[in-house]
Structure 1
Amino acid sequence: MQSYDYLIVGGGMVADAAARGIRELDESGTIGILSADVDEPYTRPALTKKLWTDPDFTWDQVPLGTADDTGAEIRLRTLVTAIDRDGRAVEDEAGERIGYRRLLLATGSRPHEIDAPDSDRVLFFRSADDYRRLRELAAAGGRIVVVGGGYIGAELAAALVQNDVAVDLVFPSAVLGDGTFPLELAERYQDLFRAAGVRLVAERRVAEVVEGASPDDALEILLDDGSRLRGDAIVLGLGVSPVTDLAEAAGLTVADGVVVDELLATSDDAIWAAGDIASYPDRLLGRTRVEHVDNAQEMGRAAGRAMAGSGEAYRHTPYFYSQVFGVRWEAVGTLDPDLDTLIVDVGQDESGPRTVVYYRDQTGAPVGVLLWNVAGATDAARLVLAESPTGTADLRGRIS
């Protein structure tokens, strides 16, 4: 049985950051990465952003170079199916056992799916492989139906229409983004898509996808009100769920994610968890779980260092962001438009107003900060959450 000093299950950005974190403290310990993906670790946000919109950003810049930089041995197309905690080993779907001294679970998330034909024109978008296939479909022209108004769906609709693809965007809310932004900002956000030529199909969900008799026939998409759309392909961004099955089956503590302490250790002192799956104690937000790239990179590095004996608590409160049509928004904390919101315009640039939104609890204290076209202010947003000012006048002057 092959064994590693550090074994990482999962091959995404967390795995890359963890391997680098290990190497900061341990130059020689063996590192193994077991990935179910077909690609070595890569920068995932590029799949819906820069690869579509920045001609100077090419596929060569997507791989992270994990193996070359850290010496980690990466096994692709390797699905781990069980953890033997007593034997300090994992087992893959082929029945091979791989040993570990210390284990990191970085299994990420899986996309939500609906019943749909098993077709290469129906994509539940998540991976680099999905990106490559969508590129082929986009190059063929025609119309693509994008389903979902969250990060992935909105970014893909924006990416496709900017690459001369006719796009329908189907989403369940009344206004695109109104589950994240206050109505005033959601309408501003939606107008970006309408102005770019995206056909918006609001307050609708997909009931069924029907494939034509031949590969050249359009797909037919039946919506929940009985209406129909036709498209040459359909790409679905319906959110994700953390992949915690492996941890649950191994008897680790799981509650909306794999529960870890401030050192990112699980209920087994030889096993850590990081990234999308980790429920951790955030110093500003309380116990939480974050599915965004900043957390993947920072927590991955912290987990690697902790596995190598750093003894350092994870103290980073992550931010998250999206970028469409030249507008970038960033946020820290909870973005719930049902909360009381304070909207502060702090200027203007070529892409429009620059706005800060504070989301406040019943006491008036901010629990989330949205930065719309406001660059370089995430640390200021964290400070607002840490100090929790309740006065409206005080908040208005905090970020400018």
Structure 2
Amino acid sequence: MPDLKSSYDHVIVGGGVAADKAARAVHEKAPDATIAILSADADGPVYRPALTKDLWHGDDPDPASQDLNTAEETGADLHTGTPVTAIDTTAHSVTTADGATVGYGTLLLATGSSPRRLGAGQDARVAYLRSVADYRHLRDLVQEGTRTAVVGGGYIGSEIAAGLSAAGAEVTLFHAGDRLLGGMFPESISTHVAEVFAEKGIRLTGGFRLAGIDAGEHLTLTAEDGRSEMADIAVLGLGAQLETSLAREAGLELDGDLVVVDEQLRTSVPDVWAAGDIIRFPDPLLGDRHVEHIDHAEASGSAAGRNMVGGQEKYEYTPLFYSDLFDDGYEAVGRLDASLETVETWDADHGAAVVHYLEGSEVVGVLLWNTWDAVPTAREVIAASQAGRLSPDELAQQITPGG
């Protein structure tokens, strides 16, 4: 690790994909500029989706295969294990946990989020999965036949359960709803996913709201309704906590826990930008929103980096997100809220679908289930619907399921 200098042209706080993309954009536009990346993580930037996807299902389980080589390819001084504890926007400096003060010309906050935890000081057999260190710890816990409880039936919980099953664990997936992924998918798809998970040997337990975990010879998970289940290890996917305390303490404008940025990803404070999970940004199709997915982290990090070196680029982008669940996969744009009215279009074999989510008569989200190369068209459908050029009766003809 290089010595930490007293100042840099550009300082990036955070060590995820947004930080990587920002450093690349800065280096491309201003190759002689000095860049520091200050990350609390012990590891450098990696392609984080692989921690719940490819590393479990592919041939190479080593997270080093997902290293983005950020420092080598951008010339940035990468300082891992270096939490930033304060920002002085008047002095244009940040302070690290070990007391170092680092000046900046421009600053990017890409601090992301951390897992919501169940209390403090838990047993080492209770795991989360966000960082490379989390992944290594979980890999060490899992052997063939390990009784594993996954708590959380959302995006991350379902991916972790599939990955652990592929690694040979005996998995029970506990979720709070009536249907797995029932908050995102219509019943037709969530029922199919549940059937596939069951075929793969994953036991599903719905209506389970975790109240606590007792650690004895085995772990005992207790639900709010009094039910209890035993496991060798537990993996908790209870959602994410946005890391915006630095921004709040520095006096940046926030909307709840979200850092408010303009069309160029500038915060309310001069020379400070923000990108990734933590921002509320003006989506050109759907208005002010925030997104916690890799595509947004990459795109916003790149745009912020270019603007930090004098660009005037507007972040006019509606991000996508995606997942693979065994042999099924999907891409999606906008809001996937199963409480909304949906219009489903299936192929003849009932293996691929396009689902439009409507608020009133306007499309606010599109799910492309086993349907590929259609994200640009999905964005066009949302735009046309929002502009009143496309009625709900015309949606079935817009995208062919299966792609």
Residue of structure 2 in register with 1:13 after alignment: 17
Q: Which of residues 171, 176, 179 is equivalent to 1:175?
A: 179
Deviation of 1:60 (Å): 3.6
Asked whether 1:360 is paired with 2:369, we answer no
Structure-2 change in CA distance of 1:234 and 1:359 (3 Å): same
Deviation of 1:79 (Å): 1.1
AA in 2 matched with 1:293: I
What whole-Å deviation, never above 9, does each CA across 1:75-103 have from its counterpart, x for those lacking one? 11111111111110011122211110000
AA in 1 matched with 2:357: Y
**2: CA distance between counterparts of 1:316 and 1:97?**
35
**2: CA distance between counterparts of 1:76 and 1:209?**
32
Deviation of 1:58 (Å): 4.8
Preserved contact between residue 117 and residue 210 of structure 1 (Cα < 8 Å): no
AA in 2 matched with 1:218: H
Q: What TM-score comes out, normalization by structure 2 length?
A: 0.95
**1: CA distance between counterparts of 2:309 and 2:348?**
46
**1: CA distance between counterparts of 2:346 and 2:146?**
40
Residue of structure 2 in register with 1:147 after alignment: 151
Preserved contact between residue 26 and residue 306 of structure 2 (Cα < 8 Å): yes
Q: Percent of aligned pairs with the same residue? A: 44
1:333-352 matches, within 5 Å, as 333-348=334-349
Residue of structure 2 in register with 1:227 after alignment: 227
Preserved contact between residue 109 and residue 274 of structure 2 (Cα < 8 Å): yes
AA in 1 matched with 2:33: G
What whole-Å deviation, never above 9, does each CA across 1:271-297 have from its counterpart, x for those lacking one? 000000011111111111110000011
**2: CA distance between counterparts of 1:112 and 1:60?**
26
Residue of structure 1 in register with 2:243 after alignment: 243
**2: CA distance between counterparts of 1:65 and 1:398?**
40
**2: CA distance between counterparts of 1:221 and 1:140?**
21
**2: CA distance between counterparts of 1:242 and 1:175?**
27
Deviation of 1:336 (Å): 1.1
Asked whether 1:110 is paired with 2:114, we answer yes
Asked whether 1:79 is paired with 2:83, we answer yes
Residue of structure 1 in register with 2:380 after alignment: 383
Q: Which deviates more, 252-261 or 221-230?
A: 221-230
**2: CA distance between counterparts of 1:378 and 1:241?**
28
Residue of structure 2 in register with 1:23 after alignment: 27
Preserved contact between residue 319 and residue 330 of structure 1 (Cα < 8 Å): yes
Residue of structure 2 in register with 1:195 after alignment: 199
Asked whether 1:328 is paired with 2:329, we answer yes
What whole-Å deviation, never above 9, does each CA across 1:74-132 have from its counterpart, x for those lacking one? 11111111111111001112221111000000000121111265222111221111111
AA in 2 matched with 1:375: W
**1: CA distance between counterparts of 2:61 and 2:369?**
24
Q: Give the SS at the match of 1:167.
A: strand
Deviation of 1:322 (Å): 1.2
Preserved contact between residue 144 and residue 168 of structure 2 (Cα < 8 Å): no
Asked whether 1:319 is paired with 2:327, we answer no
Q: Name structure 2 gaps, 5 residues minimum.
A: none
**2: CA distance between counterparts of 1:158 and 1:295?**
24
What whole-Å deviation, never above 9, does each CA across 1:275-332 have from its counterpart, x for those lacking one? 0001111111111111000001111011100101121111121001111112111110
Residue of structure 2 in register with 1:52 after alignment: 56
CA RMSD of aligned residues (A): 1.4
AA in 2 matched with 1:338: S
Deviation of 1:140 (Å): 6.1
Asked whether 1:186 is paired with 2:190, we answer yes
Preserved contact between residue 322 and residue 328 of structure 1 (Cα < 8 Å): yes
Q: Give the SS at the match of 2:347.
A: strand
Q: Name structure 1 gaps, 5 residues minimum.
A: none
AA in 2 matched with 1:392: P
Preserved contact between residue 126 and residue 235 of structure 2 (Cα < 8 Å): yes
AA in 2 matched with 1:394: E
Structure-2 change in CA distance of 1:347 and 1:317 (3 Å): farther
Q: Which deviates more, 33-42 or 241-250?
A: 241-250
Preserved contact between residue 179 and residue 191 of structure 2 (Cα < 8 Å): yes
Preserved contact between residue 83 and residue 250 of structure 1 (Cα < 8 Å): yes
Deviation of 1:56 (Å): 5.3
What whole-Å deviation, never above 9, does each CA across 1:241-290 have from its counterpart, x for those lacking one? 22111111111000041000111000112100000001111111111111
**2: CA distance between counterparts of 1:116 and 1:269?**
37
AA in 2 matched with 1:320: F
Deviation of 1:361 (Å): 1.3
